[in-house]
Amino acid sequence: MNDFLEKAKQYIDKAAQTVSNKSNEFVEKTKCKSAISSAEDQITKAYAEIGRYYYESHLSGELFEGFVADKCALIDELKEKLEELKLRLAQLNDEKLCPKCGEKCAESAVYCSKCGYRFYEDCK
Ligand SMILES: [Zn+2]
């Protein structure tokens, strides 16, 4: 977990540097992508741990809700980081994310290509 936060912090620090250079951008995209898949893996693992825990509790007849609550809090935290990373990656790719469905759209798009969400209310 701390490792993940540390990595996320490094991207933010990197973003603060002037990234006019395409190769820096490429490196950042690669790091963003790997942080995204690492967060997704951790979420999948936490889901599996909750499932296994429930199963083992069923066998032993004992359930400590604290374990599940901790895993859920971890998942919430990871999902939040994931949103930030996906947003950053979209910015690097000159894309934006639809606030309604999360679809990646071109920075210049007026409507979301998936759900039809209108990005700019004032253009009618
Ligand atoms: Zn959409």
pLDDT < 50 stretches in the chain: 19, 124
Query: What was the pLDDT predicted at 54?
Result: 92
Query: What was the pLDDT predicted at 28?
Result: 92
Cα 12 from Cα 49, distance rounded (Å): 30
| C-alpha of residue 82 to centroid of ligand 1, in Å | 18
Residues with CB under 5 A from ligand 1 (ion): 98, 100-101, 103, 112, 114-115, 117
CA distances from 112 to 47, 82, 85, 87, 117 (A): 31, 21, 20, 15, 5
| Residue carrying the six token digits 């971890």 | 74
Query: What was the pLDDT predicted at 18?
Result: 56
Query: What was the pLDDT predicted at 118?
Result: 94
| C-alpha of residue 119 to centroid of ligand 1, in Å | 9
Alpha helix positions (H), the chain: 2-16, 22-60, 65-92
Q: Which two tokens stand for residue 30?
A: 């690669």
Query: What was the pLDDT predicted at 19?
Result: 47
| C-alpha of residue 121 to centroid of ligand 1, in Å | 14
How many alpha carbons lie under 13 Å from residue 99 in its C-beta half-sphere? Answer: 4
| C-alpha of residue 115 to centroid of ligand 1, in Å | 4
| C-alpha of residue 12 to centroid of ligand 1, in Å | 26
CA distances from 41 to 4, 17, 73, 107, 113 (A): 12, 29, 16, 28, 28
Q: For the whole model, what pTM was predicted?
A: 0.67
Query: What was the pLDDT predicted at 3?
Result: 79
